[in-house]
Structure 1
Amino acid sequence: MQSLIGTGVALVTPFKKDFSVDVEALKKIVQYQIENGIDYLVILGTTAENATLDIQEKEVVIKTIIDANNGRLPLVLGVGGNDTRQVVTELQNRDLSPFIAILSVSPYYNKPTQEGIYQHFKAIAQASSIPIIIYNVPGRTASNILPSTVIRLANDFKNIVAIKEAAGDIPQAMKLIKYKPKDFLVISGDDIATLPIIFAGGSGVISVIGEGFPKQTSDMVKLALNNKVQEAYQLHYLLMDSIDMIFEQGNPAGIKEIFKSLGLSENTVRLPLVNVDENLANRLHKEVKKINEM
């Protein structure tokens, strides 16, 4: 899965002021990623406000991104949930041919045991015709996938090829890297932890800040993968304040404010999310100007 090494971005779903999906803005955002060095695109992840899109809107988002991309970058599709049967049914009925992999989040809310998590991903592995990236994000799911469970899944199912690791736990990521099968990829799911994970042996990042600053982020990751430590950290420290800011009042409200500053889309989010406040918006706009002038 060489296509998953480097910088992927979890695309937002831009909305118009009336809260409808802004198809033209989404096309511009896709083009912005392609022009600035991003390696692959992730569709319908958490940052896409997937939880507040209906079935028809999800299809619009998928089709828009596929058409705008026009085969230029590899695509990953988010297919996950806390009802294993429903996830399996979607995998069995969806045309997965446009995608190189699916990204599937660990079941949220139910708080399954490690065995329950294993059985969930076993069912997904048996149903999917394309490779699978496990998504571990305990801050959203209320349960952590332990390294032993990930390694078990990676060894038992050859189509489970990677993990997006967003536990915010560097020692846990290092355990994954130490014990994983040779070709299994550990991808950072925390922008702030991207370099430590790469330098420990990780394969890159699925980023949020990267879609706002794609050139700087993709350059940073390329430098890190080539073991150019000081040069990579120069870009990390350039981006560090903006990373903190985009998550300060929730994702994707922060990154959408950056897109507004860039003139790519409105900053509209759907309830229960709300826009960042005026103070943070002003700070983000200043940060965009500062970074893009350097």
Structure 2
Amino acid sequence: MQSLIGTGVALATPFRKDFSIDTEALIRIVNFSIDGGVEYLVVLGTTAENATMSQDEKEFVIKTIVETNNGRLPMVLGVGGNNTMEVVEELKNRDLSQFVAILSISPYYNKPTQEGIYQHFKAVAEASPIPVILYNVPSRTGSNVLPSTVMKLANDFKNIVAIKEAAGDIIQAMQLLKNKPKDFLVLSGDDMIALPMVLAGGSGVISVIAQGFPKEFSEMMRLGLNRKVDDAFKLQYLFSDCIDMIFEQGNPAGIKQVFDSLGIADNTVRLPLVKVDESLANRIDQFVKKINKLT
């Protein structure tokens, strides 16, 4: 799974002010990420606001991104949920021929035990015709996939090839890196600690901020992977304030304000999310202007 090394972007779904999908803006976001040098695209992850999209809208977003990408970069599709049988049915019936892997979130709301999490992903792995990336994000799911569970899954199922680790815990990430099978990839799901995770042995990041600053963020990750530590941390510290800002009032409200400041897309999000307030919008706008002057 060499195609998953480096920077993947968890693509946002842009909306017009009437909350309909902005097709032209979606095309711009995809092209902006590709032209900026990221390694792969992640379709219908959490950042896409797929929780507030109809099935027809999801299909439209997939179709638009696939057509816009036109084979230029590898793609990963988000396929997950808290109803195991429903996820399995989708995997059995969906055409996944355009994707190199699926990204599957740990079940949310139900708060399963570690054995329940294992059994869920066992069913996913057995149903998926393509490789599986586990997604651990306790702040959203209400439960943490422990390193011991990840290792058991990685050793038991050859098609579970990676984890997007978004617990925000560098110690837990290091446990994964220390004990993982040789070819298993540990990908950061947290932009702030993506570089430290790579320097500790990680393989890259599935990023939110990278779609706003694809050239700079993907270059930072490549520098980290090549052990050019001082140059990598110069970029890390340049972007650390903005990473904090884009998550300050929720994702993807922050990255959508970056798009608004760049003139790529409107900052509209769907309820129950709301756009960032005026103060944060101004701070993000000032950061974007500063970066534009530097690059």
TM-score range for the pair, normalised by the shorter chain length: over 0.9
1:136 aligns with 2:136: yes
Cα distance in 1 for partners of 2:278, 2:253 equals 12
Q: Return the TM-score normalized by structure 2.
A: 0.99
Inter-partner Cα distance in structure 2 for 1:209 and 1:292: 15
Distance in 1 between residues matched to 2:164 and 2:81, nearest whole Å = 16
Letter in 1 for 2:236: H
Structure 1 counterpart SS, 2:112: coil
Partner of 2:94: 94
Partner of 2:191: 191
Residues of 2 paired with 1:35 and 1:196: CA distance?
26
> CA offsets, 1:104-133, max 9 Å, x none?
000000000000000000000000000000
Matches within 5 A, 1:239-278: 239-278=239-278
Q: What is the distance in 1 between the residues matched to 2:65 and 2:293?
A: 29
Asked if 1:173 corresponds to 2:162, the answer is no
- Per the TM alignment, residue 196 of structure 1 is displaced from its structure 2 partner at its CA by 1.0
| Residue of structure 2 equivalent to 1:35 | 35
Q: Secondary structure at the match of 1:293?
A: helix
Identical-pair percentage = 72
SS of aligned partner of 2:206? strand
Give the whole-Å Cα distance in 1 for the aligned partners of 2:209 and 2:289. 15
Shift in Å, 1:292: 2.0
2:105 corresponds to:
105
**Structure 2 equivalent of residue 79 of structure 1:** 79
Provide TM-score, normalisation by structure 1. Answer: 1.00
Per the alignment, residue 54 of structure 2 pairs with 54
Q: C-alpha deviations, 1:255-293, integer Å up to 9, x for none?
A: 000001111111110000001000000000000111121
Q: Distance in 2 between matches of 1:148 and 1:244?
A: 30
Specify the SS of the correspondent of 2:77. strand
Question: Which structure 1 residue ranges, 5 or more long, are not aligned?
Answer: none
**Cα distance in structure 2, aligned partners of 1:83 and 1:64:** 27
What CA distance in whole angstroms lies between the structure 2 residues aligned with 1:7 and 1:206? Answer: 6
Structure 2: stretches of 5+ with no match in the other structure = none
Partner residue, 2:45: 45
**Cα offsets for 1:28-87 (capped at 9, x unmatched):** 110001111010000000100010010000000000000000000000000000000000
Q: Give the whole-Å Cα distance in 2 for the aligned partners of 1:293 and 1:121.
A: 46
Distance (Å, rounded) in 1 between the aligned partners of 2:143 and 2:153: 17
Give the superposition deviation at 1:195.
1.1
2:233 counterpart of 1:233:
yes
Q: Which one-letter code corresponds to 2:54 in the other structure?
A: D
Give me the whole-angstrom Cα distance separating, in 1, the residues matched to 2:173 and 2:265. Answer: 35
Residues 175-213 of structure 1 show CA distances to partners (whole Å, capped at 9, x for unaligned) of: 101111000000000000011100110001000010100
Could you tell me how far apart the structure 1 residues matched to 2:49 and 2:174 are? 30
**RMSD over equivalenced CA pairs, Å:** 0.4
What corresponds to 1:153 in structure 2?
A: 153
How do 1:211-226 and structure 2 match up within 5 A?
211-226=211-226
Runs of 4+ in 1 over 6 A off after TM superposition: none
CA distance in 1, matches of 2:242, 2:172: 25
Structure 2 distance, partners of 1:196, 1:222, is 13
* CA distance in structure 1 between the partners assigned to 2:292 and 2:140 by the alignment: 32
Determine the structure 2 residue equivalent to 1:291: 291
